[in-house]
């Protein structure tokens, strides 16, 4: 009996975690964070002097957090179809993200060596590039799936 | 899966929006169900059954490829 209760409690916690979504107002906060980060990135790149590498990393993290907030926020009217479409978009983003992380380093290496002989050495993608790509694909697919439903 | 929700809705003189509000989904979801692009859950099917006052089998039918 005690084990049953424990399992039930674990199951409930697990489902709460799976179904976690931010309220719909967070979408605006997410968009604001993303836009602010992008504007700051441009300012850092073109109007700031000196060593701003630390700021670049902070802005990259803010951009990812903003997109994550956008991805996790609910729609104004959330129903079972939007939940299904969201799940579908996460699955697509995961698969496309893995393919991107596997293929893109070879593409970059190949293109770099075709354009100028002895170009860049082979290097894997950074976490920022992969996560940004996955979040972009998820948001794009979710909104497109919703539009064409 | 095929359905006759559009007909049932017309009988009750309900718009997609009215029906959507009654069962707590978006109008686009009703549109997708009517166009057979989305198969609703049992909960939603039972809510529709409640609105139409008919068994689920009356307005949802299995098609040959199901």
From B45, which residue of chain A is nearest by alpha-carbon distance?
A80
**Same domain flag for A70 and A83:** no
This complex has an ipTM of 0.84
pLDDT at B5 over 90: yes
**Same domain flag for A72 and A126:** no
Q: What is the pLDDT of residue A77?
A: 87
Tokens of A62: 């803010």
Q: Give how far the C-alpha of residue A136 lies from the chain's centroid of Cα atoms, to the nearest Å.
A: 6
Size of interface A-B (CB pairs under 8 A): 28
Between CA B46 and CA B26 the distance in angstroms is: 17
**Same domain flag for A83 and A21:** no
pLDDT tens, position by position, for chain A (149 residues)? 688 899 999 999 988 888 889 999 999 999 999 999 999 999 998 888 888 889 999 999 999 999 999 999 999 888 999 999 999 999 999 999 999 999 999 888 888 888 877 767 778 888 999 999 999 999 999 999 998 88
User: How close, in Å, is residue B29 to chain A by CA atoms?
Assistant: 6
**Same domain flag for A30 and A97:** no
Q: Do A80 and B41 touch (CB under 8 A)?
A: yes
* Pick from A87, A68, A72, A46: nearest CA to A128: A68
Q: Looking at chain A, which runs of residues are DSSP E strands?
A: none
Phi, psi of A22 (to 5 degrees): -85, 150
Picking from A49, A76, A103, the residue at the C-terminal end of a domain is: A76
Picking from A76, A103, A124, the residue at the C-terminal end of a domain is: A76
Q: Do B40 and A80 touch (CB under 8 A)?
A: yes
Q: What is the pLDDT of residue B65?
A: 81
Between CA A101 and CA A19 the distance in angstroms is: 28
**Same domain flag for A2 and A72:** yes
**Same domain flag for A56 and A88:** no
User: How close, in Å, is residue A67 to chain B by CA atoms?
Assistant: 25
From B27, which residue of chain A is nearest by alpha-carbon distance?
A77
Q: What is the pLDDT of residue A136?
A: 97
The total number of residues written for chain B in this structure: 66
CA distances (Å), B2 to each of A73, A74, A123, A149, B54, in order? 33, 30, 52, 17, 16
**Same domain flag for A26 and A64:** yes
The mean per-residue pLDDT over the stretch B36-65 comes to 92
Q: What is the pLDDT of residue A112?
A: 82
Q: Do B28 and A146 touch (CB under 8 A)?
A: yes
Phi, psi of B60 (to 5 degrees): -120, 130
A118: containing domain: 79-149
Q: Touching check for B15 and chain A: CB below 8 Å? A: no
**Same domain flag for A1 and A57:** yes
Question: Under CATH, domain B2-61 is a member of which superfamily?
Answer: lambda repressor-like DNA-binding domains (1.10.260.40)
Between CA B61 and CA B45 the distance in angstroms is: 12
Picking from A76, A102, A130, the residue at the C-terminal end of a domain is: A76
**Same domain flag for A7 and A72:** yes
Cβ neighbours of residue A108 under 8 Å, at least 6 residues apart?
Answer: A120, A123
User: How close, in Å, is residue B11 to chain A by CA atoms?
Assistant: 25
Tokens of A111: 């293109």
**Same domain flag for A34 and A84:** no
* Pick from A57, A101, A85, A87: nearest CA to B26: A85
Number of independent structural domains in chain A: 2
**Same domain flag for A35 and A58:** yes
Query: Chain A residues with CB inside 8 Å of B44's CB?
Result: 80
Q: What is the pLDDT of residue A134?
A: 97
Between CA A101 and CA A95 the distance in angstroms is: 10
**Same domain flag for A52 and A98:** no
Question: In the predicted model, what is the mean pLDDT of chain B?
Answer: 93
What pairs with residue B60 in β-bridges? B3
Between CA B50 and CA B36 the distance in angstroms is: 20
Q: Do A149 and B32 touch (CB under 8 A)?
A: yes
Q: What is the pLDDT of residue A52?
A: 84
């Amino acid at each position: 009996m005690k084990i049953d209760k424990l399992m039930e409690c674990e199951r409930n916690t697990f489902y709460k975690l799976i179904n976690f979504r931010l309220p719909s107002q967070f979408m605006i906060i997410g968009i604001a964070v993303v836009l602010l980060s992008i504007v700051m990135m441009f300012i850092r790149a073109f109007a700031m002097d000196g060593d701003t590498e630390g700021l670049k990393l902070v802005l990259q993290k803010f951009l990812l957090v903003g997109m994550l907030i956008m991805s996790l926020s609910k729609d104004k009217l959330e129903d079972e179809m939007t939940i299904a479409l969201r799940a579908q978009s996460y699955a697509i983003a995961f698969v496309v993200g893995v393919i991107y992380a596997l293929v893109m380093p070879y593409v970059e290496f190949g293109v770099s060596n075709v354009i100028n002989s002895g170009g860049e050495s082979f290097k894997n993608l950074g976490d920022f590039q992969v996560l940004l790509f996955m979040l972009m694909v998820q948001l794009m697919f979710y909104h497109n799936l919703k539009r064409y439903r | 899966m095929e359905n006759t929700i559009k007909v049932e809705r017309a009988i009750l003189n309900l718009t997609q929006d009215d029906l959507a509000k009654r069962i707590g989904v978006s109008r686009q979801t009703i549109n997708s169900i009517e166009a057979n692009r989305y198969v609703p859950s049992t909960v939603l099917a039972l809510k529709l059954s409640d609105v139409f006052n008919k068994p689920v089998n009356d307005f949802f039918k299995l098609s040959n490829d199901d």
